[in-house]
């Protein structure tokens, strides 16, 4: 079977899972989404794109944006960032304050909310217009200039940002946030509200699949080592408290968002983005996780 057939088959097999998960409701704007949507896009390093279902429908990428901001900051700061953020799985739900307190304001990793806030804080220090810079970066890596913030989602995020404000002030009390907290949370709410479709997202992970080289601009935006390390981080920490389980079942580095998107990739080979809004108990797309597990099984390939 080729990729086209594989994803078509999985699409039919997994579609019946609709209704088993639950759309994110922590912000009203996300809760408005029609749950019965499901798309898959595969992008190979050779340049082929395969898609099925709602692969062309835009959705809110949410935490997937954490990979983009981390790549931007890593590019400028290198290992400097690891003085302020750890690299260990958290062993706790994604917005937990417990470990943060225990470790004196140093988040466990850059993919829990606390860690992503520190990364965005550093990004704000690096760019005069951070919101523009983020858009420009994302457009560059997916080769599509038509990427924007969903202002309605961003606004709704901002109105329900109490937990992130708490995290940011808490870390500021330890000296690990440098910029104004209100500004930080504004930028952070915007990055989560970037709207992309599965095809955009699969392409946006090509620079990681190709170990740092952005094929759309023929530019090495991360060193090979940096790209590999970002992959290791995704494998160990990319799916909140289900990271170990996802590595076990699917065997690929990847990242999910509460908007229902999941992206993963096999280095040197391909990237795949799946979207379906209903989440499982860990906050990851139920259909997305199931799809990826079947994908590596069916193509008989993973990183292990």
For 194-211, b/e burial (b = at least 16 CB within 10 A) is bbbbbbbbbbbbbbbbbb
Active site residue 173: no
**How many Cα neighbours within 13 Å face the side chain of 161?**
26
Active site residue 38: no
DSSP structural state of residue 58? -
Q: List the one residue from 173, 183, 217, 281 that touches a second copy (CB under 8 A).
A: 173
- State the CB neighbour count (10 A cutoff) for residue 140: 18
Interaction of residue 235 with a second copy, rule CB under 8 A: yes
DSSP structural state of residue 73? H
Whose Cβ is closer to a second copy: residue 104's or residue 145's? 104
Name residue 197's beta-bridge partners. none
Task: Fill in the per-residue mask, 175 to 214: x = in contact with a second copy (CB under 8 A), - = not in contact.
Answer: ------x-----------------------------x---
- Span 42-101, contacts to a second copy by CB under 8 A: 86-92, 96-101
Q: List the one residue from 69, 243, 276, 291 that touches a second copy (CB under 8 A).
A: 243
Interaction of residue 215 with a second copy, rule CB under 8 A: no
- State the CB neighbour count (10 A cutoff) for residue 6: 19
Interaction of residue 304 with a second copy, rule CB under 8 A: yes
Cα gap 219→273, rounded to integer Å: 23
Interaction of residue 220 with a second copy, rule CB under 8 A: no
How many angstroms separate the most distant Cα atoms in the chain? 55
Burial class (CB in 10 A: 0-12, 13-18, 19+), 1: exposed
Catalytic residue set: 63, 66, 188, 240, 258
Binding site for a second copy (CB under 8 A): 86-92, 96-102, 108-109, 162-163, 165-170, 172-173, 181, 211, 225, 227-229, 231-233, 235-237, 241-245, 247-249, 251, 253, 267, 297, 302-304
């Amino acid at each position: 079977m080729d990729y086209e057939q594989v994803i078509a088959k999985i699409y039919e097999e997994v579609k019946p899972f609709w209704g088993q998960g639950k759309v994110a409701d922590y912000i009203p704007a996300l809760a408005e989404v029609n749950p019965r949507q499901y798309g898959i896009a595969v992008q190979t390093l050779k340049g082929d794109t395969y898609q099925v279902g709602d692969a062309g429908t835009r959705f809110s990428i949410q935490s997937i944006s954490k990979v983009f901001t981390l790549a931007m900051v890593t590019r400028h700061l290198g290992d400097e960032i690891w003085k302020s953020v750890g690299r260990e799985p958290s062993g706790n739900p994604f917005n937990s304050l417990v470990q943060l307190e225990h470790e004196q304001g140093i988040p466990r990793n850059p993919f829990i909310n606390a860690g992503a806030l520190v990364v965005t804080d550093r990004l704000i220090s690096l760019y005069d217009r951070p919101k523009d810079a983020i858009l420009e970066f994302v457009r560059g890596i997916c080769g599509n200039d038509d990427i924007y913030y969903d202002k309605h989602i961003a606004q709704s995020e901002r109105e329900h940002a109490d937990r992130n404000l708490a995290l940011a002030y808490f870390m500021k009390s330890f000296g690990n946030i440098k910029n104004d907290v209100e500004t930080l949370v504004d930028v952070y709410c915007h990055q989560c509200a970037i709207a992309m479709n599965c095809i955009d997202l699969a392409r946006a992970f090509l620079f990681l699949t190709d170990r740092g080289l952005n094929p759309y601009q023929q530019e090495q935006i991360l060193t090979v080592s940096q790209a590999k390390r970002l992959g290791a981080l995704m494998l160990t920490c990319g799916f909140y408290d289900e990271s170990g389980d996802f590595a076990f079942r699917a065997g690929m580095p990847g990242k999910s968002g509460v908007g229902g998107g999941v992206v993963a990739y096999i280095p040197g080979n391909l990237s795949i983005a799946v979207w379906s809004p209903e989440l499982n108990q860990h906050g990851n797309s139920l259909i997305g996780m199931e799809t990826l597990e079947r994908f590596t099984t069916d193509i008989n390939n993973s990183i292990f």
